[in-house]
Each structure stands twice: as structure tokens, then as C-alpha cells.
Amino acid sequence: MKIVVLDGYTENPGDISWAPISSQGEFTVYDRTSYDPGNIDLTIERAKDADVVFTNKTHITREVLDKLPALKYIGVLATGYNVVDVDTAKEKGIPVSNIPSYGTQAVAQFAAALLLELCHHVGDHSNCVKTGDWQSNPDFCFWNYPLVELYGKTAGLIGFGRIGQAFSKIARALGMNVLVYDVAQNADMPEGVRYTDLDTLLAESDVISLHCPLTAENGGLINKANIAKMKDGVMIINTSRGPLVDEGDLAEALNAGKVGGAAVDVVSSEPISGDNPLLSAKNILITPHIAWAPKESRVRLMEIAGENLKTFLAGNPQNIVNP
């Protein structure tokens, strides 16, 4: 059996083992194959004889699938699987699996780190100390940004799956009240956490954090109209999907001071384009889609990917997204 990984570098730049996958067949890994869905020639060339293909962000479209007659299984090395034409794969009898829960704690932790950095600007204050600003200051302390205490404030979580629930525990540990908007609702909610409608969440939250998948219905959810419903000075966190945010509208609200600060680990087009309006906006932190990437979570991802393949080969596939 021939196994090909099309874009393995972000999952494994060399610090973990491919053994959970590579031990199951003839194995080839490529660091990168084009992320452009219109540039498919190299994808086809590399995968043309493969029985099994793993991808992270390299697109596997209908045009690609039509050229891969040997393909029997597609593994996505991520939770999101929009890079694969799952309907065409199903037509061709090719199951597609994803990795649904490997990064829960890592992403929740990162969202909390972004929030705390917005509140305290630790990095900026550390840098100004190193450049001599404290040495030359007449006072025993100083700050260049407003410092924010979260205790007693309200966090509004849009999406309450595994990551949203994990982040809510951190928010509660910081003494925050938590509002949740989600189309699916759990029967039992922790103390201090309650469901509400979207407009109430937008109006009452001091912090809004996105933890929902991207769907056809919620693209551009953070837009001018919804920002207008928010408190002045609200902070917005996005560790979910970039297109949930209308980036022009968010930049405008940041520059006007309506949004007091934002922190995003994802943007609409990745890597970020030079004309993204968030790059020149005030009071924003932008990180390069790394919330998922601690070594511990990548090891977990690799183990689940290997188990996905193993169960497929045994005739009892798991985590299939196109049953």
C-alpha cells in the first residue's frame, strides 16, 4: 500500500515521528504541495499512484480526484476538511477522515493567552523595559496601555463545542461570567455559564471569543452591523476561522475605538496578504495560525491520524466526514 503525505511540514517540521502513519505502508512525505486549488498538476503527479493520501491544506478537488484512480482513502491532518471535495470523494467510494479533538486544550489556552495579552500587553511592556524606558522613568512604575482586570466581566462565546467549553473553564477561573450562543445546546451547563441569543451576547459581553466552525450561514458574522450592537471598548478574540470576521469592518471599528482590542490567530486568506486591513489597524494582535501547534497536540494529531488509517484498513473506519 502506497501512502503519500502532500504537505507534512506544518504538522511535523522534524520534531516528532511519522511512525503512526509510516509504519502502515510504503510511505512518502512532501513538506509542501501547492495550496492553490487551481494549481493541481503537482498534486496529481505526487498522488497519482497512491492508495492513501494525507493532506492538511493542499486541496483535493474533483479535478484532482478524477486523476487518482488508485486512491482508496483520504486523511485530513486537521479538524477542518473544506480542502477536500468530500461529496465527490463519496461518489467515488473514497472515505475522508479528519482529526476532531486533538487540539482542544492547546487552542483554549492560546485564546486565553491572546486575551491576557490584550489586557496587559506583557510583550510590549517587556520590550520597552529592555530598551531603557523604565530606567529613564521618574516613577517606580509606568504603563503604555490601559490595564484591564477581567474579574467580574462577561465573556461571550460564540460556539460551545470542545474548545468553547475548555475556554469557558479558563474564563470562569479568572472570575468571569460566561454567555454562550450556539445552535446546539447542552442540557447541563456549569455554574456561571448560560445560553443566550446572539443579540444579547453581543450587547452584554466585554469579551467576545469565536469558537464555532465556519459555515455558509455565519461567514462575516463579526461585521459592522453586529459590532454596532456591542459594548464600546469590547475585545474580540478569533482562534477559529478567519472568514468569520469581516476584516475591513473590524479594522474600521478598531481604528474608531468602538472595539477596544482584537486578537486573531486566523485570517481570511493564509498566509496573510499584504493588503489585509488588519495589518494597519490599531490595537490588534495577529499571530500566524499557531494555536493548534504545540508539540503535544501535534503528537496527539499524528496518533489519531494513524489510528484513523488503521481502523479504515481493518474495515471499521472512524472520524469519517462523508459517510
For 58, half-sphere exposure in the C-beta direction (CA atoms, 13 angstrom radius) is 29
The runs of H, that is alpha helices, within 83-204 are 86-91, 104-120, 122-130, 162-173, 198-204
- How is residue 83 written as a grid cell? 480542502
| Catalytic center residues | 241, 270, 289
d(CA 258, CA 2): 54
Please, which residues have CB within 8 angstroms of residue 225's CB and are 6 or more apart in sequence? Answer: none
Rounded to an integer, what distance in angstroms lies between the CA atom of residue 281 and that of residue 227? 16
Closest C-alpha to 156, from 272, 216, 235: 235
Residue with cell 443566550: 196
